[in-house]
């Protein structure tokens, strides 16, 4: 059955729930309807929160080992249904089935679930002597509201839901209106494993997310998305004092030192910047290159980018897909057009030519590399979130570090050098939550990940990420 015909339902209290209205989900590769998602209203949100509150009473008492086993079973469900997931994801998100696309995302979701299932939050004894015993306990918060973006819909839903349920919370998940179908299917499968009400999924427009942030029954919001929405969520959550994890936008800088071999680092730089067509929070979004290797790094990158096949994700030889939606396409194009008069276009930059190549359909944007830009140019200062890389020349390392830090965001960064010791010293001076050396954006489930400055607060992954779904209770005896 094609996705357009397949009925998708909300998942509330373990049941599939139909709604009176639905909304269209477009395939960004051809602008045709990929499927229809149910349009939830306030009543569905209330029902989902109610179900999650009821389920919390028992789920929190379930032994941790049983919750771990349930998460492992979810990982198996994802594995068994991986191909179906990959096709839904490619249809609604646009990313290719192959390369670092849908199959890779589903594999990552499974691996993340398995690893997270191995984590444990044990009680810590802070003191045990003649004056008394002090124990630190981690208690689940209650109902967690998960709000996700459209770039990695399945992986990010897993990043939110699995640690929440593992630590004894229950969840109301609300995916992006651009990519709701894969999350609806994911939560449907989770409900084959979990007791009713532990994970619920509602889909609708942005107002539904806003309603979650003021809902009395929700104790925490975990949000991945733009800085602007993160700020609204923070303001809206104040009234009910919700706990927050905010994973927001990034404008990651990479600094290339003069001792690199440009040919050797080109592939790492390329995929660091262009993974998921640049629609990745921790992608390389500004590249600072030392004068000594500037021209050869530019040449190698252009050469490599020219070999990449962009197209409809269902074609098995495609490695990069379109931009996910029209609004993002326009943001990317405005930034590129404004940069053309400031810098030197080395590759791409002309979306009309690309449109012609693609038969006039889909939000395809040419892989674009623009050199000789500077801080102060919009394409350098703002997050492009698309397949475009600005390159900036530098002469002194202090100048490069200062420019890399001169940005309100602080998600990730990278240093490229043969001298690891020197690279680590530079990493230490970068204002961001993660720094990679000779690679970029390689997040992993055993290392905490989060932003500093306006890229948000709180971390995901590892034990530190799990702790974010708990409140501390200290028991003195
Ligand atoms: P977005 O902020 O527009 O939307 C994200 C989600 O928030 C959607 O589900 C949307 O419906 C919901 N939403 C919108 N308004 C809301 C409101 N007022 N209250 C509550 N929820 C609301 O972001 P997007 O365009 O989907 O994603 C792109 C952005 O996400 C980029 O800036 C990117 O850097 C960032 N991002 C960050 C990370 C990270 O881990 N730091 C990961 C992926 C994406």
Active site residue 432: no
Taking 80 as the threshold, does the pLDDT of residue 2 lie above it? no
User: What pLDDT score was predicted for residue 281?
Assistant: 96
What angle (nearest 5°) sits at the alpha carbon of residue 123, between those of residues 119 and 126? 130
pLDDT attached to residue 368: 98
Separation of CA 27 and ligand 1 centre (Å): 19
User: Does the Cβ of 237 fall within 6 Å of ligand 1?
Assistant: no
- Predicted pLDDT at 4: 77
**Among residues 281, 298, 300, 383, which one is catalytic?**
281
Average pLDDT over residues 116-123: 96
The pLDDT value recorded for residue 6 is: 82
Q: Determine the residue of 112, 202, 225 to mutate for testing ligand 1's pocket, defined as the one with the most ligand atoms within 8 A of the Cβ atom.
A: 225
**Mean pLDDT of the region 373-400:** 98
Q: Which of 212, 227, 229, 450 most suits a substitution to test ligand 1, by most atoms within 8 Å of the C-beta?
A: 229
Ligand 1 lined by 226 (C-beta under 6 Å):
yes
- Rounded to an integer, the average pLDDT of 50-54 is 98
Find the mean pLDDT for residues 90-106: 97
Whether 281 is catalytic: yes
pLDDT at 165 over 90: yes
Task: For residue range 222-261, list pLDDT tens digits in order.
Answer: 999 999 999 999 999 999 999 999 999 999 999 999 999 9
* Residue 224 alpha carbon to ligand 1 centre in Å: 5
Q: Is the CB of 204 under 6 A from ligand 1?
A: no
Ligand 1 lined by 233 (C-beta under 6 Å): yes
- Quick one: pLDDT band at residue 444, thresholds 50, 70, 90? very high
pLDDT one-digit tens code per residue, 169-216 = 999 999 999 999 999 999 999 999 999 999 999 999 999 999 999 999
The pLDDT score that the predictor gives to residue 7 is 86
- What pLDDT does residue 282 have? 97
Q: How far, in Å, from the CA of 156 to the mean position of ligand 1?
A: 11
The pTM (predicted TM-score) of the whole model is: 0.97
């Amino acid at each position: 059955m094609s996705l357009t015909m397949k009925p998708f339902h909300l998942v509330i209290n373990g049941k599939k729930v139909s709604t009176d209205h639905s909304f269209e989900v477009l395939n960004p590769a051809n602008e045709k309807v990929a499927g229809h998602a149910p349009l939830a209203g306030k009543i569905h949100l209330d029902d989902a929160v109610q179900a999650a509150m009821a389920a919390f009473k028992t789920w929190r008492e379930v032994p941790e080992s049983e919750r771990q086993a349930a998460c492992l079973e979810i990982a198996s469900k994802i594995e068994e249904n991986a191909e179906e997931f990959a096709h839904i994801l490619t249809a609604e998100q646009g990313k290719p089935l192959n390369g670092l696309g849908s199959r890779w995302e589903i594999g990552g979701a499974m691996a993340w679930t398995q690893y997270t299932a191995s984590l444990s939050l044990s009680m810590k004894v802070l003191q045990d002597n003649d004056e008394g015993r002090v124990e630190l306990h981690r208690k689940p918060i209650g109902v967690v509201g998960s709000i996700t973006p459209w770039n990695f819909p399945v992986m990010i839903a897993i990043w939110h839901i699995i640690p929440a349920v593992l630590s004894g919370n229950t969840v109301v998940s609300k995916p992006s209106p651009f990519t709701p179908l894969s999350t609806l299917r994911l939560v449907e499968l989770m409900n084959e494993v979990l007791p009713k009400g532990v994970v619920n999924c509602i889909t609708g427009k942005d107002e539904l997310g806003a309603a979650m942030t003021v809902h009395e029954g929700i104790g925490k919001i975990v949000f991945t998305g733009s800085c602007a929405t993160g700020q609204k969520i923070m303001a809206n959550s104040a009234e009910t004092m919700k706990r927050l994890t905010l994973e927001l936008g990034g404008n990651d800088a990479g600094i290339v030192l003069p001792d690199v071999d440009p040919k050797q680092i080109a592939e790492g730089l390329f995929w660091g910047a262009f993974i998921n067509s640049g629609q990745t929070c921790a992608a390389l979004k500004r590249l600072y290159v030392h004068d000594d290797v500037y021209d050869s790094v530019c040449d190698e990158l252009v050469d490599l980018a020219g070999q990449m096949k962009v197209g409809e994700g269902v074609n098995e030889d495609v490695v990069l897909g379109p931009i996910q939606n029209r609004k993002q396409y326009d943001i990317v194009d405005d930034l590129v057009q404004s940069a053309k008069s400031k810098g030197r276009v080395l590759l791409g930059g002309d979306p009309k030519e690309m449109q012609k190549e693609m038969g006039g359909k889909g939000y395809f944007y040419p892989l674009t590399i623009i050199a000789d830009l500077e801080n102060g140019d919009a394409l350098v200062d703002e997050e492009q979130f698309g397949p475009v890389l600005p390159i900036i020349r530098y002469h002194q390392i202090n100048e490069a570090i200062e420019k890399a830090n001169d940005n309100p965001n602080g998600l990730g960064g990278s240093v490229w050098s043969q001298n690891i010791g020197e690279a680590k010293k530079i990493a230490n001076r970068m204002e961001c939550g993660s720094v990679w050396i000779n690679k970029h954006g390689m997040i992993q489930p055993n290392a905490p990940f989060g932003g500093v400055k306006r890229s948000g607060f709180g971390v995901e992954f590892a034990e530190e990420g799990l702790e974010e779904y708990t409140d501390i209770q200290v028991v003195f005896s």
